[in-house]
Amino acid sequence: MLSSLMMNYSVDTLKQRIEAAHLAGFIYQHQQHILVLQEPLTDQGETLSFFAQHETTSDQIGLQFAVKLDGNQLKFLIGATHSNQDRGYEIGAGNLKGEQKAFNLLYAFYNYPKAFYLVELPLFSNSAQLEQAIQEQLFSRPELNFIQTATKTNPRGQQVQWIKDYIVQQSLDMKVRIQTALL
């Protein structure tokens, strides 16, 4: 059923379904095949903040989400922006290459973006596949090692890597909301 469902979508149909589900305040169409959810919304219509800051290093991660129509397949894209206190380098939208250009770098950060990373996987993949894709395409990057040290103690007294958990949970929630809007 999913394969026949995906073959019937055009970018216009995808955009109409996502708009009808009120997943974002604005949907930016990049070229003829990517829809980026700008100003993502909660189920109650409030603006979501996809932003996390490390408590000791001040490194920040911002997330954006998009849907890509790739031939007969729908892809889920996660755009991750990394910012920190280093004033030596700031990335501008003009520095993005290929499909990265679909994402807007204008976050309300304390610091300007220094790097941008793109995670891509099939939209209808399961949660384990999503977590694996994020691990391989984002968390394994040496320049993002600060994510490994962002820990908090949960109510059971266990140390958890809260930024990792946050990124995975926010990505899973948005992927499921997009899937639901398209069914």
Residue 172: pLDDT above 90? yes
Residue 77: both structure tokens together: 């894209």
Residue 106: pLDDT above 60? no
pLDDT tens string 41-83: 777 777 767 777 777 777 888 888 999 998 889 999 999 888 8
Please count the residues of the chain. 183
Residue 2: pLDDT above 70? no
CA–CA distance, 154 with 151 (Å, rounded to integer): 9
Structure pTM? Answer: 0.84
pLDDT of residue 31: 84
Q: What integer is the mean pLDDT of 147-152?
A: 84
Band of pLDDT at residue 183, cut at 50, 70 and 90: confident
User: What percent helix, strand, coil does the chain show, rounded to 5?
Assistant: 35, 30, 35
Residue 127: pLDDT above 60? yes
pLDDT of residue 87: 67
pLDDT of residue 137: 96
Q: Could you tell me where the DSSP H helices lie in 2-141?
A: 2-7, 11-20, 127-134
Closest CA to 40 of 93, 73, 79: 79
Is pLDDT larger for residue 183 or for residue 51? 183
CA–CA distance, 179 with 183 (Å, rounded to integer): 6
Residue in this structure with the two tokens 């891509």, named with its chain if needed = 120
With beta carbons less than 8 A apart as the criterion, state whether 36 and 104 touch: yes
Residue 112: pLDDT above 90? no
DSSP summary character for residue 86: -
Residue 130: CB atoms within 10 Å: 20
